Amino acid sequence: MGKSTGIVVTGVSGRMGQMLVETIAASEQAHLIGAVERPGHAWVGCDLGTAMGAAQTGVTVTDDIAQALQGADVAIDFTAPIATIAVARAAAKAGVAHVIGTTGMTADEIEQLSGPAGQTVIVRAGNMSLGVNLLVQLTKRVAAALDDDYDIEIIEAHHNQKVDAPSGTALMLGEAAAEGRGVVLEDVSDRARDGITGARNRGEIGFAAIRGGDIIGEHDVLFAAAGERITLRHVASDRSVFARGALKAALWAIDKDPGHYDMLDVLGLSKQ
């Protein structure tokens, strides 16, 4: 067996953070070396296992990202944009790869990852599941094959605690559709309809967001024309698909050159 990859999980108390801890614990290729939470969080200073209501792990939750990264190979980060930028800078300084599942990042915030990506590996994706990334490729191909007679609508549904909309995955799908059509998403995106909006503009890519209950993640790409509709769909029924994808990205990242990658690179689909 090769060397086990040492991983730090940030935002460890969150749903994805705890799922990542469980996924890493079950892996024979990786082990948890650090756990990070925001300053003032109740878990800081506690053994991670105890905080999660399980057996002690020997890993103490810290709010010091630089300390947590000591001796690590990869940081996996599903937090918030400001926190992610701070982790990226600390990971670059420590020479640690950084896997980012954080969504809701603006273009300016993503640009701030350019400096760290010049020093270390950054793998960032709005969704890390294999199925979603295949859906992205399908969306691009179908959009390229159909003209503007087919209206494109992206409908996404998530749990009632999600704070950003459209979801990162919906935006990935929108970008894929726009790329397939040879347009810039920002120029054709329609994200708000309320009141007397008038008829739909030809060539627009529309978004609709649903929030409710404990929905993990559902995404539909609808191509609608007179007389027919085509729907591409992905449903996540278990959050572990994202954690497994993030771990796959972490293991892939450890021997790559510095740069800003995505899950299509990890899955070998970037040239498709």
Report, as residue numbers or ranges, the catalytic residues.
Answer: 158, 162
Helix (H) or strand (E) holding 66: helix 65-69
Rounded CA gap, 260 and 235, in Å?
27
Q: What are the Cα distances from residue 173, in Å, to 13, 30, 63, 82, 232?
A: 29, 31, 34, 24, 10
Rounded CA gap, 258 and 223, in Å?
38
Rounded CA gap, 145 and 124, in Å?
28
Q: Which positions ≥6 away from 212 have C-beta within 8 Å? A: 157, 159, 160
Rounded CA gap, 104 and 58, in Å?
33
